[in-house]
Amino acid sequence: MTFASAFAVYFVIWWTVLFAVLPFGIRSQVESGEVVEGTEPGAPALPGLMRKAVITTLIAAVVFLFVWYGWAALDI
């Protein structure tokens, strides 16, 4: 696997994992009781995007290692 293809695979895995991780731990403004005037009441009160980006990076790295190992096993 070349560096460019490894980067492309990791990029796709990272975005896929991000969309899987985004909904976890979200409380809407209505649920938290703090609706900001002019915003959608269903919008997240505290999205925690930096924490989710770190979690996504760690999970994507583990998934990528499995993919890389499988790819290397096929290149006998």
Cα separations (Å) of 14 from 32, 33, 62, 66? 29, 33, 11, 14
| Residues 6+ away with beta carbon under 8 Å from 25 | 48
pLDDT digits (tens, 9 = 90+) for 34-76: 888 998 988 898 899 999 999 999 999 999 999 999 988 887 5
Domain total for the chain?
1
Q: In terms of residue numbers, what domain contains 48? A: 3-74
pLDDT digits (tens, 9 = 90+) for 12-37: 999 999 999 999 999 989 988 888 89
